[in-house]
Amino acid sequence: MRTLVIGAGVLGLVTAWNLQKDGHDVTIVDKVGKYAGASHRSFAWINANHKLPESYHRLNAAGVEAHERLQEELAEHGSWFHQLGCILSDSTQDAGENYAARAQESQEFGYPVETVDRIRLQELEPKIDWPVGSALFFPKDGHLDNFTFGDVIHNLLAQAGIDILVREVESVGTTSSAAQVAFVDGSTDSFDQVVIAAGAESGPIAQRSGMTLPVAPLDSPGPRTHSLLGITTPTEVELGRVVISDRINVRPRSDGSMFVQIPPVEHRTQEGESPELLDEIRTVMETSLHELFGTAVPVDEVIFSGRSFPEDGLSIVGYLDDAHRVYSLVTHSGMTLGPLLGRLVANELNGGQEELLDEFRPSRFRDGVVHEDRDDFIGKQ
Ligand SMILES: Cc1cc2nc3c(=O)[nH]c(=O)nc-3n(C[C@H](O)[C@H](O)[C@H](O)COP(=O)(O)OP(=O)(O)OC[C@H]3O[C@@H](n4cnc5c(N)ncnc54)[C@H](O)[C@@H]3O)c2cc1C
């Protein structure tokens, strides 16, 4: 089976690797190279936290478990999934109500959650000057060294003789027996199956191919499609796990730096990217980090970061054409879902049908697109 994977982000890489293991003759192309899209600018909190509806929670919870298994399976290649939990703290006057609702939701879904008091918070993250008396702790959550993970899968592909080819796909045409791929350089090639895993640009590829794949375009930025993601300089200030709150989100990185987001300024993404905005946000981040840790943590870089966001917020996974030649693999939360979807998609390309994916098929858009409701809950990524 000659199979093309378009896109070498986390989803394309892990899918190509699974397909290769299953005996496909895999080609993977990217118009820029590995991790050129959302995968290189992701907060990479691995979680099934407040992912609604319940079918999407189940998918993400299975995604967390797939990370656990894969980290164990590939332990000899290093360590990238740190399942140390996530602390969710709320400093607003609605905190009690918000905690109760989030805790109840998790309990109903069977996703572990604990209410923690200030003493426990201090034990979990002693360097933080906690502005709250209590918080929620989600022990199954974790954080991913997203670059390490990408490198490991890339190396495994390379060891199997599969290189990422730098080529840009224009469109994919289908017949009952093949998928004809046209590249931007004017060349064409024929494959048995094609997986479109081109992140935010999957929509335009599908459109040029006469298919529907509603992914939010990145050309009119706002908090739905973009985030202001800070990277601190490596620091002596110790942080062990993901901390999510109404004021600041932080998580540690393997080189001693941290990722940081400031929820109250995310709406500024609608101003569009400019050096002035990024500079201003860097100062806001440094002020918030100082408040959190009681000491200076310089911010090295602020990235105006675009997501790959299906218009209704949910994964779009499945065949786009009746002949089953072209398969869509687009989702937000792709860091959480990567190992799971990579495996399930390979199973489906081998002829299987995965029940977990039933509610995420592209066919749901046949009667039009219902856009996701805006809902700015704590921890929204
Ligand atoms: C700020 C931010 C925070 C996030 N936080 C989290 C989080 O905490 N937890 C979580 O699970 N997820 C998070 N995500 C989401 C997650 O990072 C993405 O869902 C994931 O990286 C998507 O991976 P992908 O492989 O689908 O796409 P991408 O990484 O975007 O890769 C797509 C690739 O396709 C290539 N491409 C595009 N067009 C073409 C073409 N025509 N021909 C060939 N190649 C092409 C691009 O060059 C790119 O390399 C976050 C994302 C952002 C932006």
pLDDT in tens, 157-179: 999 999 999 999 999 999 989 99
CA triplet 227, 315, 37: central angle to 5 degrees?
A: 45
Percent of the chain exceeding pLDDT 70 equals 99
| Pocket test residue of 14, 27, 28, 30 for ligand 1, highest count of atoms within 8 A of CB | 30
Report cis status (omega within 30 of 0) of the bond before 234: no
Q: Above 70 in pLDDT, residue 298?
A: yes
- DSSP letter assigned to residue 373: P
Task: Please give the domain boundaries of the chain with CATH numbers for all domains.
Answer: 2-45+147-216+310-365 (3.50.50.60), 83-141+219-306 (3.30.9.10)
8 CA from centroid of ligand 1 (Å): 9
**CA-to-CA distance for 239 and 202, rounded, in angstroms?**
36
For residue 314, which amino acid is it?
L
pLDDT of residue 374: 64
Average pLDDT, the chain: 96
**CA-to-CA distance for 225 and 220, rounded, in angstroms?**
9
**CA-to-CA distance for 211 and 333, rounded, in angstroms?**
23
Q: How far is CA 210 from CA 173, 317, 361, in A?
A: 8, 18, 17
Q: Above 90 in pLDDT, residue 5?
A: yes
Which two structure tokens, joined as six digits, stand for 297? 């943590």
pLDDT of residue 138: 98
Nearest CA to ligand 1 atom 27: 199
- Which atom in ligand 1 lies closest to the alpha carbon of residue 199? 27
Q: In this predicted model, what pLDDT tens digit does every residue of 13-25 receive, in sequence order? A: 999 999 999 999 9
Angle between the N-to-C axes of helices 334-349 and 10-21, in degrees from 0 to 180, rounded to the nearest 10: 30
Q: Is 265 helix (H, G, I), strand (E, B) or coil?
A: helix
- DSSP letter assigned to residue 371: P
CB count within 10 Å of CB 262 equals 21
336 CA from centroid of ligand 1 (Å): 12
CB count within 10 Å of CB 97 equals 11
- The DSSP-derived string for 285-348 is HHHHHHHHHSS---EEEEEEEE---BTTSS-EEEESSTTS-EEEEE-SSHHHHHHHHHHHHHHH
Residues with CB under 6 A from ligand 1: 6-12, 29-32, 36-39, 41-45, 168-169, 197-199, 201, 205, 227, 229, 305-308, 331-336, 381
